[in-house]
Amino acid sequence: MRIALRVALFGFLMAAPCLLLPVPSAEAMHACIDCHKGLKEERLSRPVKKIADDYHMIRGLKCQDCHGGDHTAFDNKEASHSRAKGFLGKPKRQDIPAFCGKCHSDPRYMRKFNPKIRTDQVKEYYTSVHGQKLREGDKHVAVCISCHDVHAIRAIKDQAAWTYPIQVAETCSRCHADAKYMKDYKIPTDQLKNYEKSIHYEVLTKKGDISAPTCPSCHGNHGATPPGVDSVANVCSNCHAAVAELFAKSVHEEAFSDLGQPACVTCHGNHEVLKPSDELLAGGKDTPCATCHEENSSELKKANEIRTLLQDLAKGIDRAEAILTRAEHAGMEVGPPRFELIEAKDALIKARAETHLVKVKRIKTLTTPAVVIAEKTVKKGQELMVQLQFRRKGLAASLLVIAAALIGLFFKIREVDRRGPSG
């Protein structure tokens, strides 16, 4: 009993000094918020409304971690906003990269939150057109908050973030599609309009494939700069590696370089990259080939030959697909022939990629066996349709037999009912 009393007394003595320490209450942790939310001036109360969605808050940071000041000085504006206590207030626009960079460029600090996170954004930013112009004193250019928002900064993986892949084109276009805002820079403002027509946009938004390219994929994000004529092929090759490799070995690579034409973009466009079709190789007036090659030239004839090979295979596959679909809708099992047709489809994809090398012979080695597969599949489809007819005829014959049996039974029932009346 005495030992228990001693332990209790010792515990109390140890705990007593803690009671004297000023422990901030839960309310006190949000002292800035509590004060600012009641302020009438919208510019002062707005941050409080937006901060609820901010990723920094989710990770445990508070207002004072960015803005400094004494957050324990409740109801004392002067003390809480004291410069002596590190209060920074709202940073000037040209100071924002450095303001964010205080933490984001500090690997020791950032690794506490994510050991893999990059810390070179500010450095990279100053290599961008935005960063360079900011240094020159242009306050119109994008800074961190232009793309990441302010006080509602979300992680890039957050679907509502301005920087989420599906949102980012919209974010860039807030400035870049505004003709009035961009007037002094003398660059086009139709990028978003064109991009929205592209296959990249379709894959990104309609198929929901967030790996599809959007503005930063080609221009970079913090170091945003248009890719130059000589680097555009490298940019596209990040995704289209196989095609880029073929193009690099082709006659066009040197020719484009000599003419100062950007690779890829010359035929496919930049923002408005349409889904490539075999028609691109048609060699007519409006096709990319005709921009360099003369009408009736051997090169255009070659392009036509390649196009014919591809279109013949595509038509063969379409015919096979059509007949298999008809058979499938009629209830036939089309799994095995459809599986075989995959080989022909793969060959068509490879052959289309091979057009970047412009070697007819190589394309033929892919399309010739694939055409045979497609023809075989058409034949199998036809056999299935014949079998379907056989089933229908078999059904008709068996229904005739059954109907005859039913008629026979009907008369037999009448006969037995008459012969032996129910009792």
Partner 1 sequence: MSVNRVVDWLEERIDLGAFRHLLQEKVVPVHHHTIWYYFGGMTLFLFVIQVVTGILLTFYYRPSAEEAYESVQFLMTEVQFGWLVRSIHSWSANLMVATMMIHLFSVYLTQAYRKPRELTWVTGMLLFAIVLTFGFSGYLLPWNVLSFFATKVGTNVAGQVPVVGHTLVRFLRGGDEVTGGTLSRFYGLHIAILPLLTTLILGLHLFLVQQQGMSVPPDVERASAQQPIRTMPFAPNFLLRDLFGWFAALGVLAALAAIYPWELGQKADPFASAPAGIRPEWYFVFMFQTLKYIPARVGPFDGEVLGVMGFGLGGLFLFLVPFLDKRAALGEPSPLFRWTGIGIILYIAVFTALGYLAPGPK
Site for partner 1, rule CB under 8 A: 331-333, 335-336, 391-392, 394-395, 398-399, 402-403, 405-406, 409-410, 412-413, 416-417, 420, 422-423
In angstroms, what is the minimal distance from the CB of 412 to partner 1? 6
* Beta carbon nearer to partner 1, 379 or 412: 412
In angstroms, what is the minimal distance from the CB of 374 to partner 1? 19
* Beta carbon nearer to partner 1, 29 or 395: 395
Give residue 342's Cα distance to chain centre. 26
Given a contact cutoff of 8 angstroms between Cβ atoms, the answer to whether 128 and 223 are in contact is: yes
* Beta carbon nearer to partner 1, 7 or 413: 413
In angstroms, what is the minimal distance from the CB of 335 to partner 1? 5
In angstroms, what is the minimal distance from the CB of 381 to partner 1? 13
* HSE-up of residue 108 (Cα within 13 Å, Cβ side): 1
Q: Is 219 exposed, middle or buried (0-12, 13-18, 19+ CB in 10 A)?
A: middle
- How would you label 317-345 residue by residue, b for 16+ Cβ within 10 Å and e otherwise? beebbebbeebeeeebebeebbeebeebb
Coil, strand or helix at 60 = coil
* Beta carbon nearer to partner 1, 277 or 387: 387
Residue type, position 253, single letter: E
* Beta carbon nearer to partner 1, 274 or 395: 395
Q: Between 298-329 and 335-354, two packed helices, what is the crossing angle to 10 degrees?
A: 160
In angstroms, what is the minimal distance from the CB of 402 to partner 1? 4
In angstroms, what is the minimal distance from the CB of 393 to partner 1? 10
* Beta carbon nearer to partner 1, 157 or 392: 392
Given a contact cutoff of 8 angstroms between Cβ atoms, the answer to whether 70 and 52 are in contact is: no
* Beta carbon nearer to partner 1, 181 or 410: 410
* Beta carbon nearer to partner 1, 210 or 330: 330
Give residue 81's Cα distance to chain centre. 43
Given a contact cutoff of 8 angstroms between Cβ atoms, the answer to whether 132 and 143 are in contact is: no
- How would you label 157-196 residue by residue, b for 16+ Cβ within 10 Å and e otherwise? eeeebbbbbbbbbebbbebbbeeeeeeeeeeebebbeebe
Given a contact cutoff of 8 angstroms between Cβ atoms, the answer to whether 22 and 14 are in contact is: no
* Beta carbon nearer to partner 1, 310 or 341: 341
**Nearest-angstrom CA–CA distance, 142 and 132:** 11
In angstroms, what is the minimal distance from the CB of 384 to partner 1? 9
In angstroms, what is the minimal distance from the CB of 378 to partner 1? 17
Q: Alpha helix (H) ranges present in 81-208?
A: 96-104, 107-110, 121-125, 129-135, 144-148, 165-176, 179-182, 191-195, 199-205
* Beta carbon nearer to partner 1, 342 or 402: 402
In angstroms, what is the minimal distance from the CB of 418 to partner 1? 11
**Nearest-angstrom CA–CA distance, 342 and 320:** 11
Direct distance between the N- and C-terminal alpha carbons of the chain, in angstroms, rounded to an integer = 102
